């Protein structure tokens, strides 16, 4: 079994507004998904998060979204594939400027929120994001949702010559096919620290865990996400890091 990585969405503030505790989380993770200004993040926050990641030896990923600051990138916008390609390139380039200035390289791209979820259902949008990655730098990986069946994503990524990283979530409820339960459902985000820890360890070990209906679901993932804006997730992050390192 390959060691699963631990990632966190970070830099999700704007101006005087802050979300999450990046200083607490950064030493405990392997990958930092940094907001690029469209759903959160501003130039100073981006610069500081890159410096923090470099200081702790954490891999940096761009976390682009639909242009939706007010809705935190969680609203589904009617953007064309051409627009999506352009907005991803714009955000990746912005974050990569801070990486270059700090003497490091952007490691991957992970779309945020509604854009991330739309890629599961829309081939044209997924191809647009894959093309943005391929156009920006050959070999730049795209992080996508680990589903019960990822043959579609693997086929389209192979056509675009883009490597994929598959991601699962410690603190989100799942539908039976491996899609995330919509946030409008009351049980979509786990609040019990013990359940978050148990689900994370099951995914990391390749074992089944319960979907939102209580049925067994098994996912194959390269990286495990703990949301920085979920206080209960951060409460178990140190325990999770220790348990993952012991696997």
Average pLDDT of the segment spanning 213-221: 97
Rg (CA), the chain: 17
Q: What is the pLDDT of residue 228?
A: 67
SS3 172: strand
Which domains can be identified in the chain, with CATH numbers? 5-246 (3.20.20.370)
Residues 6+ apart with CB under 8 A from 9: 20, 33, 35, 63, 112, 225, 227, 228, 229
Predicted confidence band of residue 233 (pLDDT cuts 50, 70, 90): low
Please say if the pLDDT value at position 168 is more than 90.
Answer: yes
Please say if the pLDDT value at position 230 is more than 70.
Answer: no
Q: What is the pTM of this model?
A: 0.95
- Tokens in use for 57? 């030896």
SS3 117: helix
Residue-wise pLDDT tens digits, 105-137? 999 999 999 999 999 999 999 999 999 999 999
Query: What is the share, in percent, of the chain residues with pLDDT greater than 90?
Result: 86
Of 133, 138, 41, 54, give the one whose Cα is nearest residue 101.
Answer: 54
What Cα–Cα distance (Å) separates residue 208 from each residue in 6, 35, 223, 227, 230?
19, 31, 16, 21, 23
Name the residue with higher pLDDT: 237 or 235: 237
Query: What is the share, in percent, of the chain residues with pLDDT greater than 70?
Result: 96
DSSP 26: G
Residue-wise pLDDT tens digits, 12-47? 999 988 888 899 899 999 999 999 999 999 999 999
Instruction: Return the number of other C-beta atoms located less than 10 Å from residue 207's C-beta.
Output: 12
Q: What is the pLDDT of residue 20?
A: 83
């Amino acid at each position: 079994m390959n060691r699963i990585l631990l990632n966190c969405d970070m830099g999700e503030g704007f101006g005087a507004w802050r979300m999450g505790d990046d200083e607490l989380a950064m030493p405990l993770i392997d990958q930092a998904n940094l907001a690029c200004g469209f759903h959160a993040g501003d130039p100073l926050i981006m610069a500081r998060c890159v410096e923090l990641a470099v200081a702790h030896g954490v891999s940096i990923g761009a976390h682009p979204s639909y242009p939706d600051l007010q809705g935190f990138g969680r609203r589904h916008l009617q953007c064309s594939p051409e627009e999506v390609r352009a907005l991803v390139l714009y955000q990746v380039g912005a974050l990569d400027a801070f990486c270059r200035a700090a003497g490091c390289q952007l490691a991957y791209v992970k779309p945020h929120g509604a854009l991330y979820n739309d890629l599961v259902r829309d081939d044209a949008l997924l191809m647009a994001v894959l093309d943005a990655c391929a156009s920006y730098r050959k070999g730049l990986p795209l992080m996508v949702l680990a589903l019960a069946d990822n043959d579609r994503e693997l086929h389209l990524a192979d056509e675009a010559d883009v490597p994929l990283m598959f991601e699962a979530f410690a603190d989100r409820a799942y539908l039976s096919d491996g899609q995330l339960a919509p946030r409008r459902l009351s049980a979509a985000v786990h609040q019990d620290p013990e359940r978050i820890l148990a689900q994370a360890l099951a995914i990391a070990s390749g074992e089944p865990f319960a979907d939102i209906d209580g049925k067994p679901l098994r996912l194959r993932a390269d990286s495990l996400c703990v949301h920085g804006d979920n206080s209960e997730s951060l409460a178990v992050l140190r325990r999770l890091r220790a348990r993952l390192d012991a696997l």
